[in-house]
Structure 1
Amino acid sequence: MLLVMKPGTLYEEIERVSLEIREYGLVAEICKGQHKTVIGLIGDTAEIDPKQVQNISQFIEQVIRVKKPFKRASLEFRYGEYSEVVVATPNGDVTFGQNHPLVVVAGPCSVENEEMIIETAQVVKASGAQFLRGGAYKPRTSPYAFQGHGESALDLLAKAREATGLGIITELMDAAELDLVAEVADVIQIGARNMQNFSLLKKVGATGKPILLKRGLSATIEDWLMSAEYILAAGNPNVILCERGIRTFDRQYTRNTLDLSAIPVLRSLTHLPIMVDPSHATGKSEFVSTMSMASIASGTDSLMIEVHPNPAKALSDGPQSLTLPAFEELMQDIASLAKFCGRWSSNHHLAVKPKFANLPVTARV
């Protein structure tokens, strides 16, 4: 249930209403948007009469029932306003959200050695990326596959951040490593296989750190949003959703199926920022560029792209990784399209080549 307060309501009155609501055995969460202030009522509201709640204050404009099972993640919870996740990096704050420039995250699947991660970080920064991705702990289908270098890889990510100023995104697999990962990561990634590891979601929710929540391999959109709800319910509003492909019938030609329809669907359901990972979705480097562009056209707020100096010798996910020159070329295309869509910023380091500027209107559509 949501209480929409009238414009100009004093904060003291909002606080008073919140305290009175708690007498119903509910948790009151104040969400101050750009145009409206909303008080979210968390708990069992089934037996509560909206008219009775309306009478608490003359400054309550509207009482709305949120029927979706995901309450805090719902777009209604913020009265139709999209949230943003601001991440502090050595190069300055970066904001994920619908009304902000596209954020590009790039790097190898796994951190292999210092030379490789530093070289990759320098190239992706020069190409316009704001974050470096790299796995220190790797969940693998086979117990015999490379599992990552663990703590030593975190040290290398810290060196890459020091050398380039890029933000760091890396995956957390086990709560036992939470403190180690949180010390290095600017954004903690929860991978597809841990999307419904609810005890882990509660723990990362308690950190307050920005969390990147990847969609599970066979998860419905509602499953995914309910997992986000666990993090939000633990008191952490900084959640970014990442579509990385789901399992469908055909696995011969692509690794997974990239669900681009999830982007507009999520826009209608949740206020949370959206990222797309075309590398894991397709599993083949030759399709990454096309699906990156399609993701931008579909309205994604961010892209995560796997890049490796020598994909043929990568310890994990080489076939889906772009070479450094291929990434540089892709970023020129991304910059042109993102600028055309109003999702590029002068703060990006890459100079934009106006690839689409001279096209006739009919050709741009």
Structure 2
Amino acid sequence: MIVARLRPHVPIDEQTRLTSAWRHDGHRSFHCRAGRHTLVTFPDLAPASPAGEEFVALLRATAAVETVVDSAQVPPLGSFAATGEPSAVRVADAWSVGGGSFTWIAGPCAVESAEQLMAVARGVRARGAHLLRGGAFKPRTSPYAFQGLGTDGLALLRDAAAATGLGVVTEVVDVAHVEAVAEVAEVLQIGTRNAQNYPLLREAALTGRPVLLKRGFGCTVQEWLHSAEYLLAAGNGRVLLCERGVRTFEDASRFTLDITAVPLVKRLSHLPVIVDPSHACGHGDLVAPLAAAAAVAGADGVMVDVNEAGHTALCDGKQAITPDEFGALVARTGRILHSAEPMEPVADHAMVSR
């Protein structure tokens, strides 16, 4: 599929003029700003067709277009070839995910009370967290399990953010909740069960907030990247991918963490990749080695469940670690990253410049 990368600083009115001209010629286009690049894809044109080749020549001759690539086997706006470099996503005034930094997202799986959330928020803030995670709305396997505090939980997250200065990452599970969640969260999380809920993806994208997209536990890498493309095609280039484990025949752990997906996706896509070892393994004592593996594999950050309550937590207590254990994890992973040689992603051979 054809992807055009515009030159830096092309005025908005010129972009609008080009879009109108392309539409007048019968070519649909989808735009997004990804990192420092403005990308445009044209889904109805095959690059190798006569019409596609003619249009590629026209794009190359357009002063506003920097380069044109063919994303042959990867969704175009998210492809590594589209930007030619990894993207960094700004999630707060002073912090971006990607771009060489390693991001720690930590907090309770579910917000249970003001006391619980504030203690954990202050604990992880003091030990190196950049963002606070916490679920106000919790989709659970059983309808009888704790489903979260809902809007009351959002209010508690707002208070914790104000007290600690940490930006909030929290899940949105319903289109009806998107606006309320976006008022509190720096980052909207799309959970594994909603990874292919396309109306929800579009609505979340339209807020303009960064969106952390968890991989569906039954999704292939291609399906995961196509879900991300829904966000990008809606005009939101502030997308974070999160590997959180897939369902396999193995039942010794909750899911199977697909470490292979980390370097693979970094090769296919410019989007930052976060790893959630807590939900992947379901055991607190396995979080540290899996987090280390994620860091060495090239992940841009790790998201972990932290809760003083441990096994008595109302949601997924077995996979939580304490704030002190989180501090030790941050220190240990930092030493590993310091000693590891940085890995530079290389575009997949299926993505070629034209």
Task: Give the letter aligned to residue 96 of structure 2.
Answer: T
* 1:175-225 residue CA offsets vs partner (Å, 9 max, x unmatched): 111111111111000000000111111111111110000000110001101
Give distance in 1, aligned partners of 2:239 and 2:4: 23
Give distance in 2, aligned partners of 1:127 and 1:342: 25
The answer to whether the 8 Å contact 2:33/2:235 transfers is no
Match of 1:353 in 2: none
Structure 1: state its 5+ residue gaps: 344-365
Task: Give the letter aligned to residue 198 of structure 2.
Answer: F
Q: Which has the higher contact order (CA 8 A, sep 6+)?
A: 2
**Quick check: 1:87 aligned with 2:91?**
yes
Give distance in 2, aligned partners of 1:29 and 1:202: 14
Match of 1:25 in 2: 26
Pairs within 5 Å for 1:158-237: 158-237=158-237
2:104 aligned counterpart, secondary structure: strand
TM-score when scaled to structure 2?
Answer: 0.87
1:203 aligned counterpart, secondary structure: helix
Q: What's the C-alpha RMSD, in Å, of the aligned pairs?
A: 2.5
The answer to whether the 8 Å contact 2:257/2:281 transfers is yes
The answer to whether the 8 Å contact 1:188/1:211 transfers is yes
Match of 2:348 in 1: none
2:41 aligned counterpart, secondary structure: strand
Match of 2:310 in 1: 311
Task: Give the letter aligned to residue 227 of structure 1.
Answer: S
Give distance in 1, aligned partners of 2:309 and 2:12: 60
1:281 aligned counterpart, secondary structure: helix
* Residues 1:340 and 1:149: Cα distance change in structure 2 (over 3 Å): same
Give distance in 2, aligned partners of 1:153 and 1:33: 32
**Selected match of 2:57 from 54, 66, 75:** 54
Match of 2:3 in 1: 2
Give distance in 1, aligned partners of 2:287 and 2:12: 52
2:117 aligned counterpart, secondary structure: helix
Match of 1:357 in 2: none
Task: Give the letter aligned to residue 23 of structure 1.
Answer: H
Q: Which is further off, 68-77 or 125-134?
A: 68-77
Give distance in 2, aligned partners of 1:8 and 1:185: 30
1:49 aligned counterpart, secondary structure: helix
- Which structure has the larger Rg? 1
* 1:118-152 residue CA offsets vs partner (Å, 9 max, x unmatched): 01001100000011111101010001111111111
Q: What is the Cα deviation at residue 169 of structure 1?
A: 0.4
Match of 1:68 in 2: 73
Q: What is the Cα deviation at residue 66 of structure 1?
A: 2.3
Match of 2:351 in 1: none
Task: Give the letter aligned to residue 214 of structure 1.
Answer: K
TM-score when scaled to structure 1?
Answer: 0.84
Match of 1:358 in 2: none
Match of 1:346 in 2: none
Give distance in 2, aligned partners of 1:54 and 1:299: 37
Q: What is the Cα deviation at residue 13 of structure 1?
A: 12
The answer to whether the 8 Å contact 1:73/1:225 transfers is yes
The answer to whether the 8 Å contact 1:21/1:28 transfers is no
Q: What is the Cα deviation at residue 72 of structure 1?
A: 1.0
Match of 1:293 in 2: 292
Give distance in 2, aligned partners of 1:58 and 1:312: 61
1:275 aligned counterpart, secondary structure: strand
Task: Give the letter aligned to residue 195 of structure 1.
Answer: A
Match of 1:327 in 2: 326
Match of 1:248 in 2: 248
The answer to whether the 8 Å contact 1:169/1:189 transfers is yes
Task: Give the letter aligned to residue 183 of structure 2.
Answer: E
The answer to whether the 8 Å contact 2:120/2:323 transfers is yes
Task: Give the letter aligned to residue 90 of structure 2.
Answer: V
1:44 aligned counterpart, secondary structure: coil
* 1:91-130 residue CA offsets vs partner (Å, 9 max, x unmatched): x421011x32100000111111111110100110000001
The answer to whether the 8 Å contact 2:35/2:237 transfers is no
**Quick check: 1:272 aligned with 2:271?**
yes
1:258 aligned counterpart, secondary structure: coil
Number of aligned residue pairs: give it. 334
Pairs within 5 Å for 1:99-110: 99-110=99-110
Match of 1:135 in 2: 135
The answer to whether the 8 Å contact 2:32/2:233 transfers is no
2:71 aligned counterpart, secondary structure: coil
Give distance in 2, aligned partners of 1:258 and 1:311: 22
Q: What is the Cα deviation at residue 43 of structure 1?
A: 2.8
Q: What is the Cα deviation at residue 19 of structure 1?
A: 5.4
Task: Give the letter aligned to residue 338 of structure 1.
Answer: L
Q: What is the Cα deviation at residue 84 of structure 1?
A: 1.4
